[in-house]
Amino acid sequence: MAARNPEEATGEAAGELGIGMVGHAFMGAAHSQGWRTAARVFDLPLRPRLAALCGRSPDAVRAAADKLGWAAAETDWRALVARDDVHLVDVCTPGDSHAEIAIAALEAGKHVLCEKPLANTVAEAEAMAAAAEAARTRGQLAMVGFNYRRVPAVAHARGLIAAGRLGALRHLRLTYLQDWLVDPDFPLTWRLDRERAGSGALGDLGAHIVDLAQHLAGEPLVGVSALTETFVRERPVPGARAERGAVTVDDAALFTGRLASGALASFEATRMATGRKNALRLEVNGELGSLAFDLERLNELSFHDHTEPAVSAGFRRILVTEPGHPYLEAWWPPGHALGYEHTFVHQARDLVRAVADGVQPEPSFADGLRVQRVLAAVEESARKNAVYTPVAADPAPVGAGSVPAQA
């Protein structure tokens, strides 16, 4: 389909931006919340209108559309892309369909929001970034959904780093820990299938912390060294009695990296950390100070100013709820906390404003491609760092209390 004129494509004539979303599970519900709420909180130049929702099952998608506030339901994403009342396509499907849907939508003259990670492979991500660049010359914009950039405390941290409050960066430390796969009888869902998900904890969780590291530092990772592991290699097949299938993705990824400036970074992503439900934590150390963030306390930022006298210096809590903090101008009085769902409201706000202004939203598909290349490098490094069996220096048993001879 040929691209429409910019005014028609964006819905500016009617003051609305028609949204069409593909997928209505966890991320679909979260994105719906963002689209429904953004114009009710922020003054936006265009009002998002939930035009159509797409899913494979007619009954399920109609029920989801009614629950989540969508005007119409489709069972074919191509039909959704072709709708005249859809100006922006929001892709909330498993990674194996991201490239096909996003590229088709851009070629049809639509703006696109695509969930992370951008794709399942570097080649797919490169094709998506190229399509986005070509579409931009026609007036269409594309963004990848790294929602944690929109936590006010994280946005404030980025501002402090960009303003030089930490000086030259030395270390970044990021972890993302969950435990929902600890039970070996948890069923074999699509997230455990490499063909559909691309990777496991690495893409699901690691993509977030790789993006945050590069976003906060304002520079790319240029090298990694990695280990990955799949602890439970077979799981029950849903709907198949007593049948188990192979897990083809990682359960955990552990890697170090170097940023372009020479700063060092460490990353851990796992879905096997017992007791950790959604624990994303980061710390950044620079020559002039440090900051730390914990998603379980997402309205707070810890900040240390190393230029203060040692007798009074130390980490202090910044409660990120002031009107002058990012995104807080339209919310509640200071001290009234926000939550996870607000990141999707902020994402919708930023994207609508970018579309109305005709400026490239961030993170772009090019940013998503940079993350995809890091994920691929992690997997390559992990293959090279495969487990080996060390050769015992002395096969003789060591008695209790004795000390092995030194080499």
pLDDT of residue 19: 98
pLDDT of residue 393: 53
262-287: b (≥16 Cβ within 10 Å) or e: ebebbbbbbbbbeebeebbbbbbbbe
Element (H, E) at 102: helix 98-107
297-330: pLDDT as tens digits: 999 999 999 999 999 999 999 999 999 999 999 9
Asked if residues 136 and 143 have their Cβ atoms less than 8 Å apart, the reply is no
The model's pTM: 0.91
CATH class of the region 152-297+299-338: alpha beta
| Local confidence band at 241 (pLDDT 50, 70, 90 cut-offs) | confident
| Residue 209: strand, helix, or coil | helix
Arithmetic mean of pLDDT, 191-199:
95
- In CATH, the architecture of 6-147 is 3-Layer(aba) Sandwich (3.40)
| Residue 285: strand, helix, or coil | strand
Crossing angle of helices 342-357 and 26-41, in 10° steps, is 60
The residue among 276, 249, 252, 265 whose CA lies nearest residue 177 is 276
Q: Is the pLDDT of residue 9 over 90?
A: no
pLDDT of residue 108: 98
Counting every residue written for the chain, the total comes to 407
Alpha carbon distances (Å) from 41 to 55, 154, 178, 374: 28, 20, 31, 36
Element (H, E) at 104: helix 98-107
40-87: pLDDT as tens digits: 999 999 999 999 999 999 999 999 999 999 999 999 999 999 999 999
| Local confidence band at 239 (pLDDT 50, 70, 90 cut-offs) | confident
Residue 226: partners with Cβ closer than 8 Å, 6 or more residues away: 253, 254, 255, 256, 377, 378, 379, 381, 382, 385
363-405: pLDDT as tens digits: 999 999 999 999 999 999 999 998 766 665 544 443 444 333 3
| Residue 231: strand, helix, or coil | coil
| Residue 169: strand, helix, or coil | strand
Element (H, E) at 144: strand 142-145
Arithmetic mean of pLDDT, 181-187:
96
The end-to-end CA distance of the chain, in Å, is 72
- Where along the chain do its domains lie? 6-147, 152-297+299-338
pLDDT of residue 194: 95
112-156: pLDDT as tens digits: 999 999 999 999 999 999 999 999 999 999 999 999 999 999 999
| Local confidence band at 5 (pLDDT 50, 70, 90 cut-offs) | very low
pLDDT of residue 25: 95
246-279: pLDDT as tens digits: 999 999 999 999 999 999 999 999 999 999 999 9
31-42: pLDDT as tens digits: 999 999 999 999
